Structures are given as C-alpha cells and as structure tokens.
Amino acid sequence: MNVFLTGGSGYLGQATIAAVSRRGHAVSALARNERAAQLVSSAGAVPVTGGLGDLDALRAAAGRSDAVIHLAQADSAEADLAAAQAMLNGVGSGVYVHTGGTWVYGDTDGIADESAPWNPPAIVAWRRAVEEAVLSRAGSGGRPVVIRPGLVYGGQNRLIDDFFTGPGRRQGAVPHIGDGANHWALVHVEDIAELYAAALTARPGAVYNGVAGVDPRARDVALAISTAVGLDGKVTSLTLAQARQQMGPVADAFALDQRFTPERARVELGWVPRHVDPLGWFSRTTG
C-alpha cells in the first residue's frame, strides 16, 4: 500500500512513518522546507514538496496513494477542512485517517468511550464541523477514519515540558492546576503511531480514542516530572486564571478531568498499548 502522510516531520509523524513502514507500506510525506524533507527522509518516507495550504499538491499526492494519514496541525478550522477535503477528493475510495483529539469531550465524569457527548473547551471547539464533514464521506464511497489521541507523551514531545517542566525549573516547583486531582488521558507516541498504522484497515466512518487506558492525576504527573528534573518532588498549585495567564487557552484543556477506555480500538483493530506506566516514564526521562 502507498501511504501519504502530512505532519511527517513532527515527532508523532516520524513515529508514524516508522510504524507504517514496519507493516510493509511505502510512505510519502509532505515537507514544507528542506529541513522537513531531511527529517521525513530519515524516518523512511519520500518527501513531497509543499505545505498544508498547497491544496493542489495535497490532492495530487493523495491521488497517487492508496491511503492518507493527516497528522499536521492547521492554523484554523477552515484550513484544516480545506486540506482534508483536498486529500479526500484525491484518495477517492482509499482510506483517509484524520486526526482529532480527546479534549473535545470535556470532562468525562468517569471512564468514557467514543460515544461520550462533546463538551469541548474553546481551543478545540472548531473540530466538530471538520470531523462531521470528514465522516460524512463514508456515505458516498469514501473510507474516512478519525483518531482522537489523548495527551501524547514520549519522544521529542515538548508540550508538557513547555508548560510544566520549564516553568518548574524557573520557579523551583512544577505546577499543576487547582488541586491536580483531574485525570489526564495519556498515550505514548509509539503506541499512538501504531494505532494510526492499524487504522489503515479500519471500517469506513470509524472513530477511535487513542488512549492507553491509564489516566493518572495531573498532580501525580507533576510530582513525577519534579523528580525527573531534580526538584525533589516539589510541586505548586496554580489557579485556572493563573494557568491561563501563563499558558494561554490551552490551560482549560490541561484542567480537564478525563478518563477513557481504548476497548474499541482493541476489539476492532487489535491495538494494545505497550506503554502503560506513564508516571514511571515521566519520573525517569522528562527534561
């Protein structure tokens, strides 16, 4: 199978190229500059010159492929939808795997699955219209699939480090929001990459939450990070207002209390996460 991938130069993209390649597929990947081309080439993909706004290039690359995996983060809902539609039109009856995220559910009030109602914070509220448009193609001969990853860690991910480890080093304690009792739905980058590869065989219109099913409390993550960066387990609490001032609107997403089951992906795709000790990973390797 020939697979075209966007976002291939990112840490998740590089892991996904490797996972797809291990299954015997040939991978090409969008590369907006020479540095990106070098990264995707090193990961095992053939670079395709262009950016996410180059709709003709996206359509053509998808048209040469049997499947598409869209990982790149667009600047807006309009840009993401335009890119998705271009690639859906190009790949035709081939598989199109779109990236969402579990933050769209808001607080889950216990362990939830893909049927949970949406209650997204503002930063991801735009995803609904895009996902609905993507999934609607299942009724007209397309094979769209949506993966909603949890909070990804591992590899070169800097999201948690940028907002927690960096401030912690400057302040002498790693922050969490409120009492830190909210759960984070985490997934390791290598595991979520394997889910993207497995999704190439998914049924049209399928939606999968990419989570490990191990959802530690935010305060426990902060404690583990504090240990890893040499702060001896020192943590501090931020109010949500303080977190918004420090982190911007993503603070509302980090404050969510979320727990999910990966059961649907296990049953339908045989996907079983291997990394199920996120606190151990953070305490050993963060920073």
Are residues 243 and 227 part of one domain? yes
Are residues 203 and 164 part of one domain? no
User: What pLDDT was estimated at residue 158?
Assistant: 64
Task: Examine residue 175 and state whether it is found in any structural domain, yes or no.
Answer: yes
Tens-digit pLDDT profile for residues 255-276? 999 999 999 999 999 999 999 9
Q: What is the tally of helices (H) and strands (E) in the chain?
A: 13, 13
Give the alpha-carbon dihedral of 34, 35, 38, 44, to 10 degrees: -110
User: What pLDDT was estimated at residue 219?
Assistant: 96
Per the structure, the complete domain to which residue 8 belongs is given by: 2-151+187-210
- Residue 154 half-sphere exposure, CB side, CA atoms within 13 Å? 24
Are residues 235 and 194 part of one domain? no
This prediction's pTM: 0.95
**Token reading at 50:** 């262009």
Percent of the chain clearing pLDDT 70 (strictly above): 94
* Ordered DSSP codes for 69-132: EE-PPPSSHHHHHHHHHHHHHHHTTSEEEEE--GGGG---SSEE-TTSPP---GGGTTHHHHHH
Are residues 68 and 201 part of one domain? yes
Domains held by the chain: number:
2
Task: Examine residue 266 and state whether it is found in any structural domain, yes or no.
Answer: no
Tens-digit pLDDT profile for residues 32-50? 999 999 999 999 999 999 9
Lowest mean pLDDT among 4-18, 175-189, 200-214, 222-236: 222-236
Are residues 173 and 99 part of one domain? no
